[in-house]
Amino acid sequence: MAPRAFVPPRRDAIPPTFFGDAVLRGRAIFDHTGRYARPFVGNALSCGDCHLGEGREADAGPLWAAAALCPRFYRGHMATLAVRTQAAFVQSENGRAPPPDSVVLTDLLAYVHWMSRGEAIGARTPGRGYLPVAAPARGPDIGRGAMLYAQQCAVCHGGQGQGRQYNARLIFPPVWGPRSFGQRASLAQKAVLAAFLRSTMPYADPGSLTAGAAYDLAAFLDA
């Protein structure tokens, strides 16, 4: 029998304790980062825009996988989960790192550690990250990516990649431009972005893109 992805604790299992309060605050920061961690955010993205389903969803960048594998080698040195979280604010949020003793960072770590309860430390459990996608032999095509974007993505993310708002609240994130992720983010790597797109998009039919279509879209978004 093939191993199954880890299943984090139920949402209603957060304990009514001091730690549980930190977990709840961390979940709010995770899903509404610009609202609850504004001093450290430089764009319109939240953590949950790249790590779907409150960071719980298998093959969609789940955070329980990150907790199980940290500390780990990262960009030339060993990095703890706290350091990786700080880096995400800098690289993906175009912002600045929350201080090590800040409420923002400690609450986020509380949330991630709560989600990881029961996960074996060091285990490379199925469902972590995004499913890798082999690059097509023909190479990605920006023109095809532009057509795919217009057909399948613009309805949610806007014709100019600006995202969609409802009642002055952003409901679908921008996917390029100054309010989206920059070149330091993991999603700026075409292989990672293609894997993210194939695992999670389109929103109404995730997994329906071919490998070639995912790379075409990644090339267009990167351009």
pLDDT digits (tens, 9 = 90+) for 196-215: 999 999 988 999 999 999 99
Q: Which residues of 170-204 are buried (b: 16+ CB within 10 A; e: fewer)?
A: bebbbbbeebbbbeebbbbebbbbbbbbbbbbbee
Task: Please indicate, yes or no, if residue 213 is contained in any of the structural domains.
Answer: yes
In 3D, which of 138, 155, 153 has the Cα closest to residue 215?
A: 138
Judged against a pLDDT cut of 60, whether residue 1 lies above it is answered with no
Task: Please indicate, yes or no, if residue 130 is contained in any of the structural domains.
Answer: no
In the structure encoding, which two tokens stand for residue 60, read together?
A: 């969609």
Are residues 213 and 152 part of one domain? Answer: yes
Are residues 216 and 159 part of one domain? Answer: yes
Total domains in the fold of the chain: 2
Q: Which residues pair with 72 in a beta bridge?
A: 79
Are residues 110 and 23 part of one domain? Answer: yes
pLDDT value of residue 160: 95
Collapsing DSSP states into helix, strand and coil, what is residue 78?
strand
Task: Please indicate, yes or no, if residue 122 is contained in any of the structural domains.
Answer: no
Give 150-197 as a DSSP string.
IIIIHHHH-TTS--EEETTEEEE---SSTTS--TTSGGGSHHHHHHHH
CATH code of residue 215: 1.10.760.10
pLDDT digits (tens, 9 = 90+) for 144-165: 999 999 999 999 999 999 999 8
pLDDT value of residue 2: 57
pLDDT digits (tens, 9 = 90+) for 175-192: 999 999 988 999 999 999
Task: Please indicate, yes or no, if residue 127 is contained in any of the structural domains.
Answer: no
Task: Please indicate, yes or no, if residue 129 is contained in any of the structural domains.
Answer: no
**Secondary-structure percent of the chain, ordered helix, strand, coil, rounded to 5:** 45, 5, 50
Task: Please indicate, yes or no, if residue 161 is contained in any of the structural domains.
Answer: yes
pLDDT value of residue 66: 82
- Supply the range of the domain harboring residue 49: 15-115
pTM: 0.92
Task: Provide CB contacts within 8 A for 102, sequence distance 6+.
Answer: none
Environment class of 138 (CB within 10 Å of its CB; exposed 0-12, middle 13-18, buried 19+): exposed
pLDDT digits (tens, 9 = 90+) for 61-92: 998 878 888 888 877 888 899 999 999 999 99
Are residues 110 and 20 part of one domain? Answer: yes
Task: Please indicate, yes or no, if residue 101 is contained in any of the structural domains.
Answer: yes
Task: Please indicate, yes or no, if residue 10 is contained in any of the structural domains.
Answer: no
Contact 111, 9 (CB under 8 A): no
In the structure encoding, which two tokens stand for residue 124, read together?
A: 């490379």
